[in-house]
């Protein structure tokens, strides 16, 4: 069982954005190497090719931005941790190239400010916070209803910064290239705030939101590596390893699908018993694993299990179960951080040993309770027919890697890097800009109209991102 935090910690301080063109240029030089070898320098695990569609639209937007005609926000899909690197490649390599080809004059740097999760520096280290600040990053506490300093900084940059700003409206990765998680309303709200700030300053720029989708494909289908990964997961779970047999009756895809369902059913059953026995959750017992050949019955059981896991954490922190899984995860993350990174203690080093011991106890307990939420976080996008509708190696791999993450959180002292399955390529698709300025006028009637305008814009952005995904 991971025990990542054993003592109370000082508050997570805001990391000011401090854009440094020199640091950005160095990162750009290193980018191809980072993309290839970010996870394991000695393994074929990285991204070797990135292509983009409709990039001319983005080049034209940068030209208008630099001419003072528009302000825009880039709303990009966030399926994997490599997404920001791919976005950097898009802006630093592809957009300038397309602009030259289309005779679109642009000034350097072609870049954007961006929001990032403050929690990334907790597990990656302080160096990441420094790097992000130097290349235009603004940290945000995801679970806070009102992270004032982050919001004020992002709002100021959107309206007055020398660069556009980029945000992942899903709020976090979901591990699925072909599924867009429910969007958080922050991007739409930022759009309306920008219009409001421009109106107050008597400025005429048009405000736009630009949807961008990112998808990943393996250069070669990694069936043998997938077989190895499934065998490892089966062994780590305690299941007998089932080797692939080339049969005339069952196709390769069918065999892999059966193995994944068998593994998933076994793990769900084990976790159901875990929560039933040790956390006294009311979870009915189900059939044996031999009959589990389809995920039609597994998904309802998985969702029930995720709900129970969140309830265990919510009961500890004194929460009611409100909202979808993502909303509940965000609230729990913020509650856990408030118990660990104590803003109510002026200086933890001056506490008497008794009070320091109690604070450490609270931090340890909060960290363990947050583990329930972390397990749920990995599976919020899993659906009934994701693999069945397209049994590709990518979808098999995405599901197997989510299971790997779950087992790693439980069995290892720290969360290891994901195993390599092969070289990948990224497909980036730029969507048509969504106007915000015109919508702002109709949102000014009253508070209800303002809330409805944010909801409608969020829905339209969700639809736009979903249409950009190639199935």
For every residue of 255-307, which 3-state class applies, written as one string? HHHHHHHHHHHHHHHHHHHHHHHHCCCCCCCCCCHHHCCCCCCHHHHHHHHHH
Q: Are 156 and 136 in contact (CB under 8 A)?
A: no
Only one residue has tokens 């059966």, namely 258
| pLDDT confidence of residue 133 | 97
| pLDDT confidence of residue 292 | 46
- Give the C-alpha separation, 219 to 421, whole Å: 11
Query: Looking at the predicted structure, is the pLDDT value of residue 291 above 50?
Result: no
| pLDDT confidence of residue 37 | 79
Residue 441 CA, distance from chain mean position: 32
Q: Are 73 and 166 in contact (CB under 8 A)?
A: yes
The predicted model gives 25-54 an average pLDDT of 83
- Give the C-alpha separation, 400 to 414, whole Å: 19
| pLDDT confidence of residue 42 | 46
CATH match of 21-219+424-468 with 3.40.605.10: no
Can you give the length of the chain in residues?
471
Domain spans in the chain, listed from the N-terminal domain onward = 21-219+424-468
Q: In 3D, which of 389, 393, 471 has the Cα closest to residue 429?
A: 471
DSSP-H helix ranges across 38-94: 55-66, 83-89
22: pLDDT confidence band, cut at 50, 70 and 90? very high
251: pLDDT confidence band, cut at 50, 70 and 90? confident
- Whether the ω angle into residue 109 lies within 30 degrees of 0, i.e. cis, is yes
- Give the C-alpha separation, 283 to 270, whole Å: 12
- Give the C-alpha separation, 94 to 424, whole Å: 18
Note if the pTM is more than 0.85. Answer: yes
Q: What is the pLDDT of residues 184-197, one digit of tens each?
A: 999 999 999 999 99
- Give the C-alpha separation, 110 to 99, whole Å: 11
Query: Looking at the predicted structure, is the pLDDT value of residue 143 above 90?
Result: no
The predicted model gives 133-138 an average pLDDT of 97
Name the packing angle between helices 325-340 and 353-377 (round to 10°).
Answer: 160
């Amino acid at each position: 069982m991971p025990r990542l935090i054993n003592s109370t910690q000082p508050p997570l301080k805001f990391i000011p954005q401090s854009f440094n063109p020199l640091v950005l240029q160095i990162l750009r030089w290193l980018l191809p190497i980072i993309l290839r070898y970010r996870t394991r320098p000695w393994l074929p695990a990285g991204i070797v090719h990135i292509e983009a569609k409709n990039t001319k639209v983005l080049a034209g937007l940068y030209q208008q931005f630099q001419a003072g005609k528009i302000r825009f926000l880039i709303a990009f899909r966030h399926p994997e941790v490599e997404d920001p690197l791919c976005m950097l490649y898009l802006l630093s390599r592809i957009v300038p190239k397309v602009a030259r080809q289309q005779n679109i004059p642009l000034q350097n740097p072609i870049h954007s400010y961006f929001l990032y999760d403050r929690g990334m520096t907790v597990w990656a280290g302080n160096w990441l916070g420094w790097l992000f600040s130097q290349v235009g990053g603004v940290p945000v506490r995801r679970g806070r209803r009102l992270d004032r300093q982050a919001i004020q900084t992002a709002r100021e940059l959107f309206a007055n910064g020398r660069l556009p700003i980029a945000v992942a409206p899903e709020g976090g990765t979901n591990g699925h290239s072909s599924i867009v998680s429910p969007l958080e309303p922050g991007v739409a709200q930022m759009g309306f705030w920008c219009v409001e700030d421009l109106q107050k300053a008597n400025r005429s720029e048009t405000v736009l939101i630009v949807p961008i989708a990112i998808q990943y494909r393996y250069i070669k289908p990694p069936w043998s590596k997938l077989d190895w990964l499934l065998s490892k997961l089966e062994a780590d779970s305690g299941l007998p390893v089932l080797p692939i047999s080339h049969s005339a009756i069952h196709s390769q895809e069918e065999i892999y699908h059966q193995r994944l369902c068998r593994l998933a059913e076994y793990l769900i059953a084990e976790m159901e018993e875990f929560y039933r026995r040790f956390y006294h959750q009311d979870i009915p017992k189900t059939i044996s694993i031999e009959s589990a050949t389809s995920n039609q019955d597994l998904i309802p059981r998985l969702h029930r299990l995720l709900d129970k896991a969140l309830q265990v954490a919510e009961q500890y922190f004194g929460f009611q179960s409100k909202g979808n899984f993502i909303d509940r995860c965000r609230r729990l993350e913020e509650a856990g951080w408030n118990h660990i990174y104590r803003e109510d203690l002026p200086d933890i080093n001056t506490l008497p040993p008794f009070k320091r011991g109690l604070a450490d106890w609270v931090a340890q307990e909060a960290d363990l309770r947050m583990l329930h939420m972390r397990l749920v976080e990995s599976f919020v996008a899993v659906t009934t027919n994701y693999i069945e509708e397209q049994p590709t190696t990518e979808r098999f791999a995405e599901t197997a890697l989510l299971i790997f993450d779950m087992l790693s959180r439980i069995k290892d002292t720290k969360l290891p890097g994901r195993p390599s399955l092969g070289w990948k390529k990224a497909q980036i698709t730029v969507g048509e800009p969504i106007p915000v300025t015109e919508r702002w006028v109709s949102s000014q009637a009253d508070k209800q109209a303002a809330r409805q305008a944010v909801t409608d814009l969020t829905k339209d952005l969700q639809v736009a991102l979903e249409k950009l995904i190639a199935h």
